[in-house]
Amino acid sequence: MNYANAAFERLWNETNETIQFDESWNNGTGYFDKAVKVKLKPGQVVRSECPNDRMIMMVGTAFGTIVVFQRYSGGDRGIITRNDPKEINELFHFDNVLSENDLVTIFGTVGFPNIGLRLERLRNDPVFCLT
């Protein structure tokens, strides 16, 4: 298991809010492109799990939902990837395979808010406006 997968599993286990997996999120190739349309409040973090035991986490932003998930069943091969709204991709351009640092950027850590909360703070700043 690589460090990103271990960190992802720890985050998943520490997340209290769970939402039911929706098969319509699946694009047929194992990615969850359509889940970026799940309505979450900016900064809201939820978890889910698809029927083949892949852990999924989502964080809401003003641009849509960032969807982070295990690429293969049960975390096999330790690959953590994501689908995100185009605005997030344009701003951050995360690699397809996420690192532990990418997970901190997305989900935050002690004293460092998640990406949805940070973007919301910028969006509401009268000097620096993202909308």
The pLDDT tens digits along the chain (131 residues) read: 467 899 999 999 999 999 999 999 999 899 999 999 999 999 999 999 998 889 999 999 999 999 999 998 876 678 999 999 999 999 998 988 999 999 999 999 888 899 999 999 888 776 766 55
**How high is the pLDDT of residue 38?**
97
| 71 touches 55 (CB < 8 A) | no
Interatomic CA distance for residues 130 and 96, integer angstroms: 25
Q: Which residues pair with 58 in a beta bridge?
A: 46, 67
In degrees, rounded to 5, the angle at the alpha carbon of residue 95 between the alpha carbons of residues 93 and 100 is: 110
Interatomic CA distance for residues 3 and 35, integer angstroms: 25
pTM for the whole thing? Answer: 0.91
Q: Which residues pair with 69 in a beta bridge?
A: 56, 81
